[in-house]
């Protein structure tokens, strides 16, 4: 069964700082990997989807990379803002209909 | 209305009650999912429907009963729940193409409290 680990579990940074969130997974036979953000008590908002054949995907200030063979993905957030405060989740897709989740990284950006 | 919509947003029910959670997607997707999110635990996949057929059931107790009448609607029927079933229940949808899926979109969730 796919195991997903996200490090760090919590991160607090001053506004404007660049930061990296890490995700590792045990089964490298994935079809794609998706990054989400979740605000407290709310649903998940999709940020980026990286197909297994891709190495990188960018959307605005966000850049996600994927190293499938080593079972790792990173989410880079540039020039962080207080509105970026949320829990960030990565979810590799293994099998036809299954996203596996870790417990996420809780980010706080201090004004 | 766009995206994935879940109702109700909050639900409090007694252990002997019967209630249903509803999910509707307006994205033209052919796969829908129920996930459970408990405090300090990863999201757990409960059920998957692809092309209106249930394709996955992750050992979920029978007190949870899913229903998918068409590709746009998904229900989760609840009966005789336990307090430990209190959690955020999330619905998601995606487009299944053979062995892989497009980007998954989630609803806002139903916060369920069993008393």
DSSP string, A19-48: EEEEEEES----SEEEEEEE-TTS-EEEEE
Reported as a pLDDT band with limits 50, 70 and 90, residue A110 is: very high
Q: Look up residue A6 and give its two tokens.
A: 């996200």
Tell me if the bond preceding B8 is cis, omega within 30° of 0: yes
- For residue A96, the model assigns a pLDDT of 64
- For residue B2, the model assigns a pLDDT of 63
Preferred mutation among A1, A97, A103 to probe B, highest tally of B CBs within 10 A: A97
Which residues of chain A lie closer than 8 angstroms to B103, CB-CB? 34, 46, 49
CB contact under 8 A, B106 and A43: yes
- Nearby residues of B109 by Cβ (< 8 Å), 6 or more positions away: A41, A42, A43, B6, B9, B37, B88, B89, B90, B91
Phi, psi of B41 (to 5 degrees): -125, 150
Q: Chain-centre distance of CA A10, in angstroms?
A: 13
Q: How far is CA B62 from CA A7, B53, B67, in A?
A: 35, 18, 13
Mean pLDDT of A8-16: 96
Q: What is the dihedral of CA B53, B55, B58, B64, to 10 degrees?
A: 0
Closest by Cβ to B100, choosing from A31, A44, A101: A31
Mean pLDDT of A79-100: 90
- For residue B75, the model assigns a pLDDT of 97
CB contact under 8 A, B99 and A31: yes
Tell me if the bond preceding A60 is cis, omega within 30° of 0: no
CB contact under 8 A, A42 and B108: yes
Task: Supply the mean pLDDT for chain B.
Answer: 91
Closest by Cβ to B42, choosing from A36, A98, A102: A102
Q: Is residue B53 pLDDT above 60, yes or no? A: yes
Which residues of chain B lie closer than 8 angstroms to A91, CB-CB? 104
Give A23-53 pLDDT, tens digit per residue.
999 999 998 999 999 999 899 999 999 998 9
Closest by Cβ to B42, choosing from A31, A42, A103: A103
Say how many CB pairs under 8 Å bridge A and B. Answer: 65
- Compute the nearest-CA separation of B30 from chain A (Å): 11
C-beta of residue A66 within 8 angstroms of C-beta of residue A50: yes
Residue of chain A with shortest Cα separation from B106? A44
- Compute the nearest-CA separation of B101 from chain A (Å): 7
Phi, psi of B110 (to 5 degrees): -115, 120
CA-based diameter of chain A, in Å?
42
């Amino acid at each position: 069964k796919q195991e997903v680990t996200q490090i760090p579990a919590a991160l607090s940074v001053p506004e404007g700082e660049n930061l990296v969130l890490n995700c590792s997974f045990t089964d490298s036979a994935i079809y794609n990997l998706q990054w989400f953000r979740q605000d407290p008590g709310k649903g998940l908002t999709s940020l980026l989807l990286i197909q297994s054949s891709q190495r990188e995907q960018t959307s605005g200030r966000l850049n996600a990379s994927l190293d499938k063979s080593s079972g790792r993905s990173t989410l880079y957030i540039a020039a962080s803002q207080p509105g970026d405060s949320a829990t960030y989740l990565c979810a590799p897709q293994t099998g036809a209909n299954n996203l596996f989740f870790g417990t996420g990284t809780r980010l706080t950006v201090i004004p | 209305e766009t995206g994935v919509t879940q109702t109700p947003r909050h639900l409090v029910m007694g252990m002997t009650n019967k209630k249903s959670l509803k999910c509707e997607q307006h994205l033209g997707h052919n796969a829908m999912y129920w996930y459970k999110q408990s405090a300090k635990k990863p999201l757990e996949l409960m059920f998957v429907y692809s092309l209106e057929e249930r394709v996955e059931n992750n050992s979920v107790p029978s007190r949870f009963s899913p229903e998918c009448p068409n590709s746009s609607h998904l229900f989760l029927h609840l009966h005789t729940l336990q307090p430990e079933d209190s959690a955020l229940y999330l619905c998601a949808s995606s487009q299944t193409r053979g062995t892989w899926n497009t980007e998954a979109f989630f609803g806002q969730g139903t916060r369920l409290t069993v008393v």
